[in-house]
Amino acid sequence: MSEESFSPDWLALREPADHRARAADLVAPLVEWLESRQSRRVLDLGSGTGSNLRYLAPRLRGEQEWTLVDRDADLLDRATGAAVTVPGVARVERIPGELDREGLGLVPGSDLVTASALLDLVTHEWLERLAATCRAAGSAALLALTWDGVINWADPDRDDELVAAAVRSHQLRDKRMGPALGPAAGQAAERAFRAAGYDTWLRPSPWRLQAADASLARALVDGWETAVAEQRPADASLIRDWAQNRRATVASQFALEVGHVDLLALPPGPGAP
Ligand SMILES: C[S@@+](CC[C@H](N)C(=O)[O-])C[C@H]1O[C@@H](n2cnc3c(N)ncnc32)[C@H](O)[C@@H]1O
């Protein structure tokens, strides 16, 4: 997996863990807020193959129209047919495009703006524009599964923290938008929406991986090994040893927590400042 593209295999591998991890208690206040709307137009930013739609659409009441935006047309092409045949979804439109052009441009007219596993890739400036654009449009926002920097193994290895710190630094690299927010993104998003007058709820949504998730854990170890080798080339042999040990860990019983957060932001009611 490169810094700029995400393979469909990786997205498929993480989807069950993503759906399990999401902060389910954020759905009820969102559904309640949507009751006051005439429509259910949902904009999914950085949609990939439609995982967020598959999670959220069955949980939102009423007939919905979804627009998926992603810069990767191949991923969008996979969000077709059975992949998006979800009860309640009347229409799915797929728009290949960038978050800062097509993405923000489609916010007006959306009742709900949503994203999953996206925010750690974006810039602070884009996040502030997103909050301001949502506020101007009166849209709610549900921004799920933002990595918060936590990587916790149940059986510690002395190099875990070095690896985790290097992964956090690596995540700050430019993803073709400017320096990424990385693990700070969840809190930054909450601040941006609060500053725009929104009521916000920030909830933990960690992956809690065990033996049944060995393929996902193994892919994580491989990805972290590559990222840390780029970040700390002088520590190549230490990183190789760490990854070898961790591949052995995930081949037997293990417990691994990878922290995420979900943010719900609801716009102020009529008459609010
Ligand atoms: C980690 S994937 C998450 C995909 C999907 N939301 C999910 O939960 O499976 C991030 C997605 O954001 C897209 N993306 C990243 N930066 C983007 C940008 N600047 N404009 C449009 N799409 C972007 C990527 O192509 C990728 O599909």
pLDDT per position as a tens digit, 68-127: 999 999 999 998 766 677 777 778 999 999 999 999 999 999 999 999 999 999 999 999
- Find the 152 Cα to ligand 1 centroid distance in Å: 25
Alpha-carbon gap, residue 247 to 25, rounded angstroms = 34
Q: How would residue 3 be classed by pLDDT, with cut points 50, 70 and 90?
A: low
Pocket test for ligand 1, best of 118, 120, 126, 130 (most atoms within 8 A of CB): 118
Tell me, what amino acid is at 272?
A
- Find the 59 Cα to ligand 1 centroid distance in Å: 22
Which residue, by CA, sits nearest to atom 25 of ligand 1? 72
Task: Kindly tell me if the per-residue pLDDT of 253 is higher than 70.
Answer: yes
Task: Kindly tell me if the per-residue pLDDT of 27 is higher than 60.
Answer: yes
Average pLDDT score over residue span 238-259? 96
The pLDDT value recorded for residue 175 is 79
Q: How would residue 2 be classed by pLDDT, with cut points 50, 70 and 90?
A: very low
Alpha-carbon gap, residue 45 to 107, rounded angstroms = 10
Cβ atoms within 10 Å of 104's Cβ, excluding its own:
20
Left (φ > 0), alpha (ψ -120 to 50) or beta: where does 64 sit? beta
**């949503």: which residue's tokens?**
114
Structure-token pair, residue 221: 């170890």
Q: How would residue 272 be classed by pLDDT, with cut points 50, 70 and 90?
A: low
The pLDDT value recorded for residue 216 is 97
Report the atom number in ligand 1 closest to the C-alpha of 18: 8
Alpha-carbon gap, residue 46 to 25, rounded angstroms = 23
Give SS3 for 259: strand
Tell me, what amino acid is at 11?
L
CA torsion, points 227, 231, 237, 242, in degrees to nearest 10?
-50
Hey, CA dihedral for 120, 126, 132, 134, is it positive or negative? negative
Which residue, by CA, sits nearest to atom 13 of ligand 1? 46
- Name the nearest CA neighbour of 44 among 123, 132, 142: 142
CA torsion, points 75, 80, 85, 88, in degrees to nearest 10?
80
Cβ atoms of 45 and 115 within 8 Å: the answer is yes
Average pLDDT score over residue span 146-152? 97
Q: Which domains, and CATH codes, for the chain?
A: 8-153+175-208+259-266 (3.40.50.150)
The pLDDT value recorded for residue 223 is 95
The pLDDT value recorded for residue 1 is 37
Which residue, by CA, sits nearest to atom 3 of ligand 1? 117
**């950085």: which residue's tokens?**
46
- Find the 182 Cα to ligand 1 centroid distance in Å: 14
Average pLDDT score over residue span 136-146? 98
Average pLDDT score over residue span 25-45? 96
Cβ atoms within 10 Å of 75's Cβ, excluding its own:
22
Ligand 1 environment, Cβ below 6 A: 6, 11, 18, 46-48, 51-52, 70-72, 75, 98-99, 116-118, 121, 175, 177
Per residue in 218-243, pLDDT (tens digit) is 999 999 999 999 999 999 999 999 99
Task: Kindly tell me if the per-residue pLDDT of 273 is higher than 80.
Answer: no
Average pLDDT score over residue span 185-197? 97
Average pLDDT score over residue span 9-38? 96
- Find the 46 Cα to ligand 1 centroid distance in Å: 4
Alpha-carbon gap, residue 130 to 221, rounded angstroms = 33
Neighbouring C-alpha atoms within 13 Å toward the C-beta of 179: 7
Cβ atoms of 56 and 142 within 8 Å: the answer is yes
pTM of the model: 0.95
Phi and psi, residue 171, nearest 5° = -65, -15
Cβ atoms of 121 and 177 within 8 Å: the answer is yes
Q: Please state, rounded to an integer, the average pLDDT across all residues of the chain.
A: 93
Report the atom number in ligand 1 closest to the C-alpha of 175: 16
